[in-house]
Structure 1
């Protein structure tokens, strides 16, 4: 059962403040077209120094607040090897996410087996929040469901991939 579709910019603050125990994110794309990242990504590709990022700072503040309440925030990124330019950039900036309290791990796509085609968040093992994208790959809102079949499938994917995943610090040192 879909609880709702949200086409406006997602209210991540409300989503995380409603979270009681755990927020897990599965990322499966090799590139994202997130407007708030485009300048930083372009600068990375051009070899220019990074600029301060208010959007990422707000995200990390939200993660600190969430983990400070005892909520676990984690994610698995399924990545193609060799890495795309986008994932090379993400690897260069993920340290601030982990410093804020996210447990981010990596699974090479060739080792992951079958993975869903969409990114999603599993919230408290009872809700799945799909990240919707448009034809250009830009964020297009959320779809939220509590359907027991979808939630159960998402839990099983999370457990399987988590066992295969390498923590960020170890992954970047390889």
Structure 2
């Protein structure tokens, strides 16, 4: 495995040819760019311009415009913790950039890996690496065929039971309203 940080991580999206899939399993994350926005949300304020989010959205737009399918599954606890309530409120921005985001409630997810990861072109896995405070410090990338095969199987299993964002947010469950 090799540790990739900053631009080297973003380059994985630029190098992807077919797909980039993310598995998210935590109830909360400590992300420097997100923390002020999360605090504003919890104080009842809405983000109207998403300026802080534009670099990520531009990266995703670039990838999807090249034909890369960008998708993710978020495994969530219900009722949603504050962090995931906030994420749900900004997910339309991800969707408008071309990401296909789906949700699986934790009780339906079954056995999960202990780490979040990205799977690129079904051939490279980049595990999110966090410090003791759960702050991201980069990704550990590997093309080990056994690890890649395991991650593909987890993606396939969860994708089958995942609910698309719009249905999860606005559907019969009424989760967004709670």
TM over 0.5: yes
Q: What is aligned with 2:134?
A: 137
Aligned to 2:169, which of 166, 169, 172? 172
Higher relative contact order (CA 8 A, sep 6+): 1
Question: In 2, distance between residues paired with 1:52 and 1:136?
Answer: 29
Q: Does the alignment pair 1:118 with 2:115?
A: yes
Partner residue in 2 for 1:102: 99
SS in 2 for 1:35: coil
Per-residue CA deviation, residues 3-25 of structure 1 (Å, 9 max, x unaligned), is x113x435343111100100000
Distance 1:97 1:51 in 2: 15
Count of residues paired in the alignment: 171
Structure 2 match to 1:17: 14
Q: Which residue of 1 aligns with 2:40?
A: 43
Q: Structure 2: how far apart are the matches of 1:25 and 1:94?
A: 14
Aligned counterpart in structure 2 of residue 92 of structure 1, from 68, 89, 92: 89
In structure 1, which of residues 13, 31, 34 is the aligned counterpart of residue 31 of structure 2? 34
Q: 1:58: how far off?
A: 1.2
- State which of 67, 72, 75 in structure 2 corresponds to 1:75: 72
Query: Structure 1 residue 159: deviation in Å?
Result: 0.1
Match of 1:128 in 2: 125
2:61 is matched with which residue?
64
Ranges in structure 2 where 5+ consecutive residues have no aligned partner = 172-178
**SS of the residue 1:33 aligns to:** coil
Cα distance per residue 1:74-96 (max 9 Å; x no partner): 00000001110000000011000
How far off its partner does 1:51 sit?
Answer: 5.2
CA–CA distance in structure 1, aligned partners of residues 59 and 7 of structure 2? 14
Contact persistence 2:9–2:138 (CA under 8 A): no
Q: Residue 20 of structure 1 aligns to a residue in which SS?
A: coil
| TM-score, L = length of structure 2 | 0.92
Backbone CA RMSD of aligned residues? 1.2
TM-score by length of 1: 0.94
